[in-house]
Every structure is written in C-alpha cells, then in structure tokens.
Structure 1
C-alpha cells in the first residue's frame, strides 16, 4: 500500500469531484424518473426506453472522450500541453459526428426505434412524445461532455460538477412546472420533462463556453484552436480511441438489447428496471469516479516514467475499489424499500424493482472492482483494446444469448432474466485480474519525439 499522503489527497479530491459530477448528472435522470413515476407508470416507462437511446449516446461520448483523457493525461505527465488542444479538436469532430447521425435516425423514425425495445403501443406512444424533443439535446450534450472530459485530462474537474449542479437545479424546477402544470404552466406530462432537459442542456453548454473563455488558463482553448488543428493527431487519436469507442458502442447497444428483452416482458418490468438502474447509477457514482480518477492517475504516472510507483498505485487502487463496491452494494440494499414508496406504480412493478435492486446489491461489488480496474487502471495505462475484446466475448457470446433463452424459451421469471443480464459484473473479475498481473497493459501512447 502507498504511504504517501499526497497521493491519497490527490486521488480522493479527484474521486470526490468526479463522483459528485456523476451524482449530479444522474440526479437529472433521477429527477425525471421520480417525477414521471409520480405522474404515471406509462410516462415513466416511455421515458425509460428513450433514456436507453440516451445511454447509447452517452457510452459513445464516453468512448470518444476517453481517448482524449488517455492521451492528454500522459502528455500532462510529460508536462507537454501543446498537443492537447489538437487532440480535443479531433475528439469533438468524432463525437459531434456520432451525435448528428443518432439525431437523424431518431428524428426520422422514432416509432420504429422504440418499437425495437418494446411491443407495448401505449408505452411507445408516450416515448415518441419524449423522443421528438429530447433528440435535440444530443449534439449539445456531446459537445459539453467532450469538453469537460478533455479538461479532466489535465486535472480540471471543478467545471464538470458546477455544470451538472446548474443542470440539476434547472431541471427540477422546470419539471415541477411543466410535468404537473404548477405555477400557471401547462400540464405537459412526459413532454414537459423533455423540454426541461433540453433547456438544461443548453445552459450546460453556455456555462462551459463561459468557463473556457474567461476562467481556463492552462490550455487556453479557443474556437480557432479547436477548428484549426494539426490533423496528424487524427491517427494518434484513432489508434487510442477506436478500441474504446467500439467497446462503448457495443456496450450501449447491448444495454438497449437488454432493455428490449425486459421490455417484452411487460410495462411493469420496464418500470422496475428503470427504477433499479437509476438507483444503481446514483449510488455507484463513487465507483465510476474512482475509475476515472484511476485512469488519470495511472496515465500521469506513466507519462512521468515512474513505473516503480505505478506498481504501488495499482495494488492500492484495487483495495480501494473493493471497499467502494462493498459499501455501494450495501447502500443499494438498504435504500431499496424506502425509495419505492415515492413511486406511484403497480404492486407488480414494485415487487420486481425490489428484486432487481437486491440483484444489483450483489453485482455492484463486482462492478466497482472489475470495471474500475478495466476502465481505470488498464485503459489509463494505454491498453484500450482489452475491454473491447473481453466485452465482445462476454456480451454477445454469453449474456445476451443466455438471457434471451431464459426470457423467451424457458420463460423464467423476470428477476432470473435480470440476474443473468447482470452476471457478467461478477465473472469478468477473473479475466481482469489475470490481465492486470501480466503488466503488459502498460503502454506509452504519446509521441516519443515530443
């Protein structure tokens, strides 16, 4: 274990900042979830399906942004910041391009897209109302998140949670007004939640632009720097980011397929899955914050060429991840009953949500350890292809086929299907541990001549 107090101070500040940002981001989804759940089960189910498309976009944005973080953090460790604006410019081009494609698909064929996820026509009709509005946030959301992710590469994290805090406050206020028709506003239901999110996303981007123009002085990013880049960095970016992007894409698609499997088990299963997942997301912010902080810390250490220190860091981080997982799983179990009292949903949906959260209370321990080791230590170390290969085998060779068979052939109860869908969070511990101990994931991704 590392005994240097400065390491723990640096790491804990990063984890708290990133966890708080994630908490605020998921808080927006939780606010929509709780308020629509109090409005109607069909509205909740409709927005839950649309949020799976948002989740796919989020995974793709994370994949695009992680390339900038991996490259940027190693250049930061080398104390060479000149290439970073070029890398951010490349990242924005990839991210915005992806968001634009998804926007066109969803805007042109919302009914067909949602029809893949469920056969409940009432839920689809509610979802289309939400999707036709929320799709206009895709490019805005992508631009904001890539810029804040890129700044994390050089240790700038405060702007992320300031942006998310503003979004959460605005979203809750507008939800209160527009979903239920309070304070003289029209009662728009699910459409009100979509309009609230659209306004929030616009404010997010404006705050980031203001910060970059008047408060950020390390990179001194300007529109000119982001538009006129050294295109030679495209190859560097693709080499590092493509495996991450492909991994995130397959993960996002797989999550949509998982939702589709549960979605064809009825509206109660959709609502229960939505509640359980959002509770998991909110409570697991520490695990995801620790993973992001680990990636930055590992990348910076490799950039400094301090391999001896890296061994101590990796050992210490694994113990921290395991502790976070045990605490997070316990919290999910403890809040599962009280949180359900807030929702106005059917008794069947409540029973399923309780069962789903009990499953997550166990699998979260595995998530906090193997996900953070994989996406934090291994990816931060420069090996961006391991996760893609592992998830390709796990998701398409094991999870999706077994879950589909259980749901539609054997017709097992929804909780069994849900447990199968989440079982990879436990068994992926083995390949992650084996790969970590090989130490061949340590790769310098910066240019040798710089």
Structure 2
C-alpha cells in the first residue's frame, strides 16, 4: 500500500472512531449538566450507579477485544465463514456478562450502591436509577458485540451514524423526562435512566436492521454459527484473558491512584480531577488511533503480509508521535485559559495549572504507549506482554509512589502526579523495545485450524 493510500485509509478508519468517542464524552457531559441541576445528592447517586456500569462496560470491552483480534486477522485472510462462529462466541459472552450485571443491578441495587456510599438518600435514589438502567444492559452488550465485529472489518462509518442517532435521542429524552418538558411528567434522575433505556432499544434495533440488510458476513443460517474448533476456542481464551485482566486491573489501579491523590486533601485532588478531565480530550484522539491501528495491522497479519504489517506500524508510530506532540502542546497552552469556567481559590488555581502542565508532559508518553500496547501489540496477538507492561508498572511503581508522596513525604499533589507518571516513561522504554523486536507479530490464522 502506497503511503498516500495508507494515510487515506487510516484517516477513514480513525476519524469516525474519534467522533464516536467524542459522542460518548458529549453524552456524559450532557447527562452531568442536566442531572447537576437536581443537586449534589442526585449527582452522587447517578455517579455511583455509573461506576457499576463502567465496570460492566470495561468487562465487555476486555472480553470482546480478544475475539475482535481474531476477526480482524481472519477477515484479512478472507476466511469469512469463521467470522460468524467468532461472532456467536461474542454473543454468548454478551449474554453471560449482561445476565450477571443485570441480575445484580435489578434485584440487588441497594447492595451495589451501598458499596460506594452509606448515605440513605443516595442509596435510595441510586437504587431506583440502577434498577431501571440495568434493563438496558442486554442491549448494551449485544450492541457492543456488533460494533466491535463490524469495526474489525474496517467498517466504522455505520457504527458512528447509529451512535449519533442514539445519542441525540438520549439527550432529547433526557431533557424531556428529567425536567418534564413537552407534556411529559417530571421524573428527575429516573428520567435519565428511562431515556438511556429507550435509546439503547433503538440502537439495538438499528444494528439488527443493519446486519439484516448489509450482512457483513455475520448473517447466515443458524447452523453456520456453530462448529468452532477446540483449538480456536482455546486460542481465543489465551488471547482474550490477558486483555480482560488488563482492563480490570487498570480500573483498580486508577481507582487506587485517585485514593492516593485524595490523601493530599480535597482541594488538591480536585486539581487532579480537573486536569484529568482536560486529559480526556487527548484520550478521545488516541483511542481512535489505537483502534484503527488494531484493525489495519490485524488484517495485514491475517493476509500473511508480515512485512506490510511492520511497515504500516512504522507509519502509525509516526502519526502517533505527531499527535502526541500536538496533545502535549494543547495541555500546556490550555493549562490556565481552560480554567476560566471554574471558580477556584488562587492557590487551587495555581496548583491545577501545575497539575495540567505535568500531565502535558506525561501525555506524550501515555499516548505513544496506548498506540503500541492497544493498537499494535494487541493486533499482533501479543496480549500477554501487553498485559504485563500495562499492569506491572502501574501496580508496583505508580500506586506505591503516589501513596508514598502524599502520605509519607507530604508533597504537593502536582509533584506526586509527576512522580507517578514516570511510570509512562519506564513503560514506553520496554514497550518500544518490544515493538522494535518484531516478536509481537503472531499470525493467529495459522496457529489454529478450523
């Protein structure tokens, strides 16, 4: 593939993924703004219920990611018959996980919310919200299975269009049901839950119609979804398990970092939270780059063209390097002007600016690491090494250093953030070494027979 063609294909894949990430962030922002009008208790209640959803969402992503690696490689090999069988495995995983999370969320919502808070009013409001929102989990799980299957084939425009419609419906229904507009009753927090449920039902209906009309090698007779060989199943477990564990440990690790920063005081941890909110804009860009990389490289490996996969990875690293610099500069420039919407004490404002500038340096290495570990190594089936690099330095360096800095050394939080984020530099050294070794390239279509 010529360079100009490669960049055209890459942009065609990455841009819709970036837009889809932006839609998700925009929906969360709209939810927060509307629910924020109902008071602090409502914000806390929905926030705790959404933490439960976050665990559910990350579990699904981890479970499906391994399957989508196989899908991308077999699609590149043009072995289309096996795609339906892998898709059936993803649907079974979706059913398994949504059954657990929906059951707990619907029948034991108080137990779930009580994990996060012992405030009776928060438990009451959060439980009502969670009981409704848990009914949307089946549609969420199956929709994600379809999204990741289609995406592994390089189809990103269609999921973006469906997500856009679903998000717009969700926002409009939020406005009507939370506030009781256009003749609807005032449902408050529960209105937001009903809005999400309706939007999820609409979303899954659109995906069913899409598969029915387009096929994408996922539509077929019932018997074509079965018969996946034991070798493939075992290989999928071997590839998927490290990804699932990575996502779960990452959530626990970042939660531990938040606890550590909180030891420095409420005002200082608020500075970190504001800084991380601005950092999320860079996250949107690099999740798109990483996911597009995974599709392109996975298909090239599946097609048996390993030199082309390596050449593509070099081009992707160049793209990542340029955008890492752009994102770093963005955070450095926005450090002070980006805080005009906050009412902060002078000392908190100064601390927040310092935190953002520290994150501006860290984001350069953080985004390169995401590109290598999520976009390149996972695409090559090198999930075990990616798991080690993603978790070891987080658990055994960043978290202990953060607690040491706040609890023992009593350092300002921006210095603690700086010390903890040295993890990204250490990780990059090992990740880049692994990338250059080419040992991450595994043709999974040759490892297994079907």
After TM superposition, the score normalised by the length of structure 2 is: 0.86
The answer to whether 1:438 aligns with 2:434 is no
The answer to whether 1:236 aligns with 2:235 is yes
Per-residue CA deviations over 1:215-237 (Å, capped at 9, x if unaligned) read x2330425836864536342232
Paired residues for 1:191-230 under 5 Å: 191-214=190-213, 216-222=214-220, 224=222, 228-230=226-228
- Taking the aligned partners of 1:9 and 1:186, their CA distance within structure 2 comes to 49
Specify every segment of 5 or more residues in structure 2 that has no aligned partner in the other structure, as ranges. none
Alignment-derived partner of residue 48 in structure 1: 47
The RMSD of aligned alpha carbons is: 3.4
The answer to whether 1:9 aligns with 2:8 is yes
Paired residues for 1:210-359 under 5 Å: 210-214=209-213, 216-222=214-220, 224=222, 228-230=226-228, 232=230, 233-259=232-258, 277-332=276-331, 351=349, 357-359=356-358
Contact in 2 for aligned 1:243/1:385 (Cα 8 Å)? yes
- Taking the aligned partners of 1:201 and 1:209, their CA distance within structure 2 comes to 12
Does the residue aligned with 1:446 lie in a helix, a strand or coil?
Answer: helix
- Taking the aligned partners of 1:222 and 1:25, their CA distance within structure 2 comes to 31
The answer to whether 1:166 aligns with 2:168 is no
- Taking the aligned partners of 1:349 and 1:183, their CA distance within structure 2 comes to 45
Deviation, structure 1 residue 244 = 1.2
Contact in 1 for aligned 2:293/2:316 (Cα 8 Å)? yes
Does the residue aligned with 1:221 lie in a helix, a strand or coil?
Answer: coil
- Taking the aligned partners of 1:179 and 1:276, their CA distance within structure 2 comes to 29
Alignment-derived partner of residue 369 in structure 1: 368
Deviation, structure 1 residue 262 = 5.9
Alignment-derived partner of residue 77 in structure 2: 78
- Residue 346 and residue 176 in structure 1: after superposition, are their counterparts in 2 closer, same or farther (change >3 A)? farther
Name which structure has the greater RCO, CA cutoff 8 Å, separation 6+.
1
Deviation, structure 1 residue 126 = 5.0
Alignment-derived partner of residue 19 in structure 2: 20
Contact in 1 for aligned 2:136/2:197 (Cα 8 Å)? yes
Larger radius of gyration: 2
Deviation, structure 1 residue 196 = 2.0
- Taking the aligned partners of 2:48 and 2:83, their CA distance within structure 1 comes to 37
- Taking the aligned partners of 1:247 and 1:107, their CA distance within structure 2 comes to 27
- Residue 384 and residue 133 in structure 1: after superposition, are their counterparts in 2 closer, same or farther (change >3 A)? same
Contact in 1 for aligned 2:109/2:128 (Cα 8 Å)? no
Deviation, structure 1 residue 134 = 2.4
Contact in 2 for aligned 1:89/1:226 (Cα 8 Å)? no
Alignment-derived partner of residue 395 in structure 1: 394
Does the residue aligned with 1:74 lie in a helix, a strand or coil?
Answer: helix
Per-residue CA deviations over 1:16-72 (Å, capped at 9, x if unaligned) read 121112222222222212333454344334433333332222222221221222111
Per-residue CA deviations over 1:225-259 (Å, capped at 9, x if unaligned) read 68645363422321221221221222233334445
Higher mean Cα deviation, 363-372 or 260-269?
A: 260-269
Contact in 2 for aligned 1:89/1:225 (Cα 8 Å)? no
Deviation, structure 1 residue 272 = 6.7
Q: Paired residues, what number? A: 447
Higher mean Cα deviation, 368-377 or 48-57?
A: 48-57
Deviation, structure 1 residue 168 = 1.5
- Taking the aligned partners of 2:69 and 2:436, their CA distance within structure 1 comes to 21
- Taking the aligned partners of 1:118 and 1:406, their CA distance within structure 2 comes to 27
